A and B are shown apart, each in its own frame.
Chain A
Amino acid sequence: AQTVTQSQPEMSVQEAETVTLSCTYDTSESDYYLFWYKQPPSRQMILVIRQEAYKQQNATENRFSVNFQKAAKSFSLKISDSQLGDGAMYFCAIYGGSQGNLIFGKGTKLSVKP
């Protein structure tokens, strides 16, 4: 079975600052994918960034980047130059080859203060 753990129920950051959200996971799959999804109050989950486990290079999408430590099974999200619109729930998720669905963590609520 695959599991995802997000140990920070809530985080806050000052506008324009940088914040890192933590995620650890467990899987027996050799080939898997990791994701960060954002869920604003509208409830719609939006993909922020994804990482293929076989790639050593950390994924980057504009202000969002990940620190993928495969041996440690760690997948943290860094948000640079935080904006008010970044305030939302953030979910870490894993997709593994033998399962046709995503497994999510419990989420981290991020507040951005002006």
Chain B
Amino acid sequence: GAGVSQTPSNKVTEKGKYVELRCDPISGHTALYWYRQSLGQGPEFLIYFQGTGAADDSGLPNDRFFAVRPEGSVSTLKIQRTERGDSAVYLCASSLIWTGGTGELFFGEGSRLTVL
């Protein structure tokens, strides 16, 4: 696609429910990143993939959060037993190669998650 696509744009759920957020990166980009942006804060790193494997998942806050990228393209961020504190905008970004060298990430418009 022309840019990074994220769905849904907005998601409202109830506490305790399961949520999936999808990211479709720019075609051919091997690196994919998930960030979480709480209100009034900068994006906070969650996880990044090189191809199908998670190269660094040190930013995932706990075991309720999980992400997959089974075919090295589309990625899904999964949140189990959602809590009100999970409410945030979840940003996805992709880059052509591992950012070493250029460092430019191309971002989607994010998925705003609201947990009631």
Contacts and interface: CB of A to CB of B under 8 A. Distances in A.
Interface of A: 4, 6, 33, 35, 42-47, 50, 91, 93, 95, 97, 99-107
Interface residues of B, number: 27
A100 B40 contact: no
A47 B104 contact: yes
Interface of B: 31, 33, 40-45, 48, 50, 55-56, 59, 89, 91, 93, 98-100, 103-105, 107-110, 112
Nearest to B112: A43
A93 B98 CA distance: 17
B40 A44 contact: no
Contacts of B43: 45, 91, 102, 104
B110 to A, nearest CB: 4
A43 B110 contact: yes
A104 B50 CA distance: 21
A46 B45 CA distance: 17
Given A33-B103, A50-B103, A101-B56, A45 B45 contact: no
Given A45-B107, A50-B103, A95-B103, A100 B91 contact: no
Given A50-B104, A101-B33, A43 B109 contact: yes
A106 B41 contact: yes
A9 B107 CA distance: 23
Of A46, A95, A102, which is in contact with the most chain B CB atoms at under 10 Å from its CB? A102
A97 to B, nearest CB: 7
